[in-house]
Amino acid sequence: MVSLVGLNDPMSLLIGLLLPALVYVLVVVVKFLLGLRKDIGLGSKFPSPPYHWLYGNNHLTDLTFGEKYLSVIREIVEKNPKAHSYWMLGTINIIQVTHPETIRQLLKSKSKKSNDYGTLRAWLGNGLFLSDGDVWKVHRRLLTPTFHFDVLKQYVSVYNRGATEMISRLSETAKKGEVFEMFQEASMCTLEIILQSAFSGGQMSEETKNEYIAAIRKLKLLFLQMTFQPLYYLSKSAYYLLSPGGREYIRFCKLMHDTAESIVTKRRRQLMHGGSSQQKARLDFLDILLSARYEDGTGLTDLEIREEVDTFLFAGHETTASALSWTLYSLAQHPHHQEKVREEVNHLLSGRDDDTIQWEDLHKLPYLTMCLKEAMRLHTPVPLIIRTVLEDTVIDGVTVPKGFDVSIHLYGLHHNPAVWGPDHMEFDPNRSRPERVKDRDSHTFEIPAVFCRTEELHRSELCTE
C-alpha cells in the first residue's frame, strides 16, 4: 500500500525505477571486477607474450587474428610449448594449451563448451556446435545416422559433380585471362555439395548462394572484430545494442536465419506435395530433422530445426572450403608435390572411361591425403576451440579452478616446434607418413576430427583416409 501511494509522487517513481537499475548495474560491475581479480591471478601463473597494462597482448597485433597475431602465438609457443596465457585486454585473459600433454590434461577433466562462444549463439543458436549436456546428447543421437558410411557413399556422385562444375567455371575464367578468388569458388562448390547431400537439394539460386557466402564473410569479420572490443567483454547484449558493429552482426544473423527458414519451408512444401523422402535409399540430414521424434512422440520445434540447419549449413561448407583453398595454395607453391598428386590421380584413373572418383578410390590416394592433412596443419581452418572446466584441473602444474575457460589453441599446437620440429612452417606432406606419425602423439593429427565428431563426412568429402 505504501509503495502504491508513493508511486503517485514523480520523485518516488523515479527513485523506484532508478534504484533497482542502479543496484543491477552495481552487481554487474562488482561481479565483473571480482571475475577480473580471479582472471588476473590465474593468468599471471602462466607465461604470456609481452604484456601491456591496458592492451594486454593486443598491442602486438593489428587487432585482427591475422599474421601479426599468429606470429605472436608462434613465438610464445616456441618459448613455452605446453601452455601460456593470452591477455585480450590488460585484465582479461585466457589460458591456452598447445601441446598433446596439456590438451590431454584438459580433456581428461570434466568440461563443457565455453559460454565465450556466446557471440556465435546469436547466429547458430543451440545447434550441435554450441549445445552441450542433454540437448546435445539427444540431438546428436537423432542426427548420428546422417554420418553413416552408407549414407555418405550415396554422395560421391554429388562431390564429383560439385568438383566438375567448379573446374569448368575456373577454366572459363582462366581462358579469359581473368583473376578469380579461390576461396569464393571453393565456397560455392562446398555450399552446393552440402545443399545437395544434406538439405535434399536445398534449391538456392546462384545469387542467393553468393549473398549467403558474402554474408558469412562479413559475419566472420564482425565476430573477430568484436573480440577485440572492451564493451564486448563488459556486456555482450550492450555491445549488440549500442555499437554499429554489434547491430550489423545481428542484422546479418537475421539474414542467415531467413536463408535457413526458407530451405526448411521449401522442403516441407515438397514433402506435402508428394516429394517423398522415401525415394532416397536413406534419409538425409534435413529429412531426419523434419521427421525426428522425441520419446514422447513430439518433433523438433521450428526453432530447433532452424538452429541445426544454420549450424550444418555453415559448419558443413566453410571449413571444407578453407581446407580445399589452402591445399590448392600449398600445392601451387610446391609444384613437385603437385606433380606427385597429379601422377597419383592419373595412375588411379588410367584405363577408365571417365574421370569420376568412386567411394572405393578414396583410400587409394595416400599422397593427396597427406597433402590435405599437411595444408590443414599449416593453415588450421578452425584455429582454436574453448572449454569451460567443470572441476579444478591441473594444467602444466597450475590448478585452473572450476568455471574457468581454457582454449585448445589448434594453430599453436600445429606450430609447436616441440611437436613438429623447427621446420613447422614448411609444407611437408611426408610428416603424416605412418612411420613418422608413430613417434608423434596421436592427438596432434586427429584433434580437429575428434572435436568435429563428423569425421566420416569430412574424410569422405575431403578424401582423408
**Interface with ligand HEM by CB under 6 A: which residues?**
113, 128-129, 140, 194, 311-312, 315-316, 319-320, 323, 381-382, 385, 448, 451-454, 457-458, 461-462
Cα 413 from Cα 384, distance rounded (Å) = 10
Name the minimum Å distance from CB 385 to ligand HEM. Answer: 4
How far apart, in Å, do the first and last CA atoms of the chain sit? 74
Place of cell 555453415: 314
Name the strand (E) or helix (H) holding 218: helix 206-226
Cα 81 from Cα 289, distance rounded (Å) = 43
Tell me the residue type at 159.
Answer: Y
Beta carbon nearer to ligand HEM, 202 or 381: 381
Name the minimum Å distance from CB 110 to ligand HEM. Answer: 15
Name the minimum Å distance from CB 327 to ligand HEM. Answer: 10
Cα 150 from Cα 325, distance rounded (Å) = 28
Cα 305 from Cα 430, distance rounded (Å) = 42
Beta carbon nearer to ligand HEM, 40 or 120: 120
Beta carbon nearer to ligand HEM, 319 or 388: 319
Name the minimum Å distance from CB 370 to ligand HEM. Answer: 15
Cα 231 from Cα 252, distance rounded (Å) = 20
Phi, psi (rounded to 5 degrees) for 407: -100, 135
Of all residues in this chain, which one has the CB nearest to ligand HEM in the complex? 316
Phi, psi (rounded to 5 degrees) for 95: -80, 135
Query: Measured in whole angstroms, how far is the alpha carbon of residue 51 from the centre of its chain?
Result: 28
Beta carbon nearer to ligand HEM, 145 or 245: 145
Cα 91 from Cα 129, distance rounded (Å) = 29
Query: Measured in whole angstroms, how far is the alpha carbon of residue 53 from the centre of its chain?
Result: 31
Beta carbon nearer to ligand HEM, 247 or 453: 453
Name the minimum Å distance from CB 300 to ligand HEM. Answer: 15
Beta carbon nearer to ligand HEM, 92 or 128: 128
Name the minimum Å distance from CB 117 to ligand HEM. Answer: 7
Cα 131 from Cα 133, distance rounded (Å) = 7
Name the minimum Å distance from CB 34 to ligand HEM. Answer: 27
Beta carbon nearer to ligand HEM, 36 or 449: 449
Of 113, 314, 82, 308, nearest to 213 by C-alpha is 314
Name the minimum Å distance from CB 87 to ligand HEM. Answer: 22
Beta carbon nearer to ligand HEM, 52 or 113: 113
Beta carbon nearer to ligand HEM, 89 or 384: 384
Beta carbon nearer to ligand HEM, 89 or 410: 410
> 219 burial class (0-12, 13-18, 19+ CB within 10 angstroms)?
buried
Of 465, 464, 454, nearest to 194 by C-alpha is 454
Cα 174 from Cα 168, distance rounded (Å) = 10
Phi, psi (rounded to 5 degrees) for 195: -65, -40
Phi, psi (rounded to 5 degrees) for 415: -125, 30
Question: Grid coordinates standing for 248?
Answer: 550489423
Beta carbon nearer to ligand HEM, 367 or 451: 451
Beta carbons of 405 and 432 less than 8 angstroms apart = no
Residues 99, 331, 428: CA angle, nearest 5 degrees: 35
Name the minimum Å distance from CB 312 to ligand HEM. Answer: 5
